[in-house]
Amino acid sequence: MTPDIRPLVAGNWKMNGTRASLDQIKAIAEGVKTDLSEKVETLICPPATLLYVATALCDDSPLAIGAQDCHQAQSGAHTGEISADMIADCFGTYVIVGHSERRTDNAETDHLVRAKAEAAYEAGLTAIICIGETADERKGGQTLDILKRQIAGSVPDSANSENTVIAYEPVWAIGTGLTPTVADIAEAHAFMRDDITKRFGPAGHTMRLLYGGSVKPSNAAELMAIANVDGALIGGASLKAEDFLSIFGAYKTLLD
């Protein structure tokens, strides 16, 4: 954790969820109605088909709703895409950009991710910018070099602690059940903090840095206690209200 930074526990549902899954969002929205929500922010990013209905379910809850991607343009002939303005129009407040699955499956570059983050800012959204190394890059000792390159290329110059969250997701740990050691995560997050502080000054001290990669109820408390880890970007464990709320609840002890 970083002193004086309100952690964020965010769930990325990826290509999962139908209307039947709204019961899980409703349960999460109810479950975060505790005093802990004053200290810890919560977010679910469902598929775009559920975005508007999900925000309606959270009218009286501190649970925020966001999207998993946006196009860099405000509008136009981009069949099948969703703009940041459309997300905001559905009352979404966050958008994930540059997730490793987007970078891999859709060949998204740092330059494109930066443009998407800038589009998010223009629409009044907070961008969660994802970075992380592959297994081969890690084996080659390139982890910190990759993080430095992706931060430089993907994070806009206008980033600040209000409009930007950076999520470190080692690609090889996403959905595999594998997790880096505490020391590995601490090293990566300390490097990221130093890098953004050199670039953004005081804003770098308060920008939230999330960890993502096989975060689950059994390891959440240990991972969230690591220095400069200001919350989690959760995949599979966010699909079940019980698991998500358990990870959220890990902060009860950490923040006492």
**Catalytic positions, please?**
99, 169
Tokens at residue 18, please?
A: 């139908």
Q: For residue 54, what is the enclosing H or E element?
A: helix 51-57
Strand partners, 94: 66, 126
Listed as own residue / partner, the contacts of 73-78 with beta carbons closer than 8 Å and 24 or more positions apart are 73/119, 74/119, 74/122, 74/123
For the chain, what is the radius of gyration of the CA atoms?
A: 17
The count of other CB atoms within 10 Å of the CB of residue 107 is 8
For the record, the structure tokens of 88 come out as 């905001």
Residue from 134, 132, 126 nearest 150 by CA: 132
Q: Give dist(CA 232, CA 253) in Å, integer.
A: 16
Using an 8 Å Cβ cutoff, are 11 and 43 in contact? yes
Local structure of 124: helix, strand or coil: coil
